[in-house]
Amino acid sequence: MIGLKEKQKIILKAVLEGKTQRQIAKEMKISRTTVAKYINDYESSKSKLMESDETKIKEDIISPPKYNSSSRKKVKLTDEIIEKIHSYLKENEEKRATGRSKQQKKKIDILEALRSDG
C-alpha cells in the first residue's frame, strides 16, 4: 500500500525531475500502473484546478491515496483453516529439523495452498 509520501514522491519525480513512468517505477520498486494512476490523477486534478473551485481540487492533490475495498470478497478464518495452517507450519518444522530448509513453504505458498483447497 502506498502512503502520502510515496504518492508525492511519484508526482514530484514526474513533474520536477521530468522522469518517465518507467524510471519512477524502477527507482521506487512499484508497478508502472500505480505510477501512471497517480500521475494521471495529478494531471486531471491540475486541469480541474485551472477551471473551477481551487480549495476542493487542492485537497484532492494533497490527500492520501484511497483504496476501494468494497468489492473484495470477505474471508472467514475458521477452525478448519487454522488447523491446516498449523499442519503446514508443523511440516515446515519437520523439514527444518531434517535439513531440508529450502523445501519449506513460505507464507505465499501456504496462502496459495489454502486457496487451492478452497
CB 7 within 8 Å of CB 38: yes
Average pLDDT over residues 14-21: 86
pLDDT in tens, 107-118: 888 888 888 887
Report residue 107 CA to chain centroid gap.
Answer: 17
Is-above-0.85 flag for pTM? no
Q: What is the pLDDT of residue 22?
A: 92
pLDDT in tens, 47-96: 777 776 556 556 666 677 777 777 877 777 888 888 998 999 999 898 88
pLDDT in tens, 2-17: 888 888 888 888 888 8
Between 1 and 105, residue with greater pLDDT:
105
Cα separation, 45 vs 59, whole angstroms? 10
